[in-house]
Amino acid sequence: MDNDKLDFISPNFISLLKNADENATAKWGKMNFQQMVEHVADFFKVSSGKIQFLLVTPAEHLPKYREFLLSDKTFRENTKAPTEVLGEEPLPIRSFDTSAAIG
C-alpha cells in the first residue's frame, strides 16, 4: 500500500469520522452513520485476518475479484456483500455510541 493511502487510513480517516455529521442523511445504502463506522471497522478486521468467514465466492472468480480489490477502481453504490456474510439488512449497532465505535 502506498504512503498516501496509508496516511488516509491512519490518522486522516479517523479524524474525518470524528468530525463528520453523524446525523447526515446517507446518499445511498441502508446504514446509519454508526453502522457504517462499525462496518468499516469490521472490514479492516477481515482484511487483516482478525475476522474470518467461510469462502462463499466460487474459486474460479477469485483471481478477478483479487485484481479488482488491488486496483484503484471504486465500488459501485449499493454493492452488496453475499447474503451468507451480511444478510439483507444492516447489522444492529454494537457500540454505546458513535464515539465508542470510532475508538
User: For residue 11, is the peptide bond before it cis, meaning its omega torsion is within 30 degrees of 0?
Assistant: yes
Residue type for position 71:
S
Per-residue pLDDT, 74: 87
Query: What is the chain's percent helix, strand, coil content, to nearest 5?
Result: 45, 0, 55
pLDDT digits (tens, 9 = 90+) for 27-71: 888 899 999 999 999 988 988 899 888 888 899 999 999 999 889
pLDDT digits (tens, 9 = 90+) for 69-91: 889 898 888 888 778 878 889 99
Residue 1 reports pLDDT greater than 70: no
The C-alpha atoms of residue 63 and residue 100 are separated, in whole angstroms, by 37
Q: Where are the domains of the chain?
A: 3-102
Q: What is the 3-state secondary structure (H, E, C) of 59-103?
A: HHHHHHHHHHHCCCCCCCCCCCCCCCCCCCCCCCCCCCCHHHHHC
DSSP 9: I
